Amino acid sequence: MRRLMLVVAAVAAVLAPNAGAGGWATVQLSAVPGDGTKAGTTLPIDITVLQHGRTPLAGVTPVFRIRDADGTVRATFRGSPTGRTGVYHVDVRFPAAGAMRYEVDDGFVRYGGAQTHTYAPVRVVGSGSSGGFPVLPVGVGILLLVVLAAVGTAVFRRGRAERTAQVA
């Protein structure tokens, strides 16, 4: 009997840590939004959910959320399975310009382990903004120079024609 008690205690000691470990997951993104992301532009992202950071996790629904600077949820995108175990696809669109945060709820509710993974804020630019080279101002400047050159050439030629006519 004493030997049986020792075996039961040993089995319980081995199994107890696993029972209390719970479930947790990590997420990996195939692309990360960064400063200069344009509002309204679609950014395709694959979310890989790994149980305990290792095993691709099937049967979950990760959710990609965008929050504004006040913390208000501005957009939500539910992941769709891609056919690869543990990989889910979302097409993300930032709804407006400004400082935005994004997060991913891994959807791993089994064992009460679902977590929301947060990321650093990004500066989203307006949909009309190039976020880089100022194309419109430079284009207007070049057009203005071309017009001034054409006017200057016409004035120069007219004056030359008048001087030629006076000499003859």
The reported pLDDT for the residue numbered 141 is 74
The reported pLDDT for the residue numbered 150 is 79
The reported pLDDT for the residue numbered 145 is 80
Q: 109 and 52 in contact (C-beta within 8 Å)?
A: no
The reported pLDDT for the residue numbered 18 is 43
Q: In terms of pLDDT, which residue wins out, 149 or 108?
A: 108
CATH of 2-125, one of 2.60.40.10, 3.40.50.170, 2.40.50.140, 2.60.40.1080: 2.60.40.10
Of 118, 111, 120, nearest to 51 (Cα)? 111
* Whether pLDDT at 165 is above 80: no
The reported pLDDT for the residue numbered 167 is 64
Q: In terms of pLDDT, which residue wins out, 102 or 164?
A: 102
Cα angle value 131/132/137 (rounded, 5°)? 100
The rounded mean pLDDT for the chain is 82
Name the residue type at position 107.
G
- Tens of pLDDT along 33-81? 999 999 999 999 999 999 999 999 999 999 999 999 999 999 999 999 9
Share of the chain above pLDDT 70, in %: 74
* Whether pLDDT at 10 is above 50: no
The encoded tokens of residue 97 equal 């310009």
* Whether pLDDT at 86 is above 90: yes
Q: In terms of pLDDT, which residue wins out, 133 or 38?
A: 38
DSSP reduced 3-state for 67:
strand
pTM of the model: 0.65
So where are the chain's domains?
2-125, 133-168
The C-alpha atoms of residue 167 and residue 131 are separated, in whole angstroms, by 58
DSSP reduced 3-state for 165:
helix
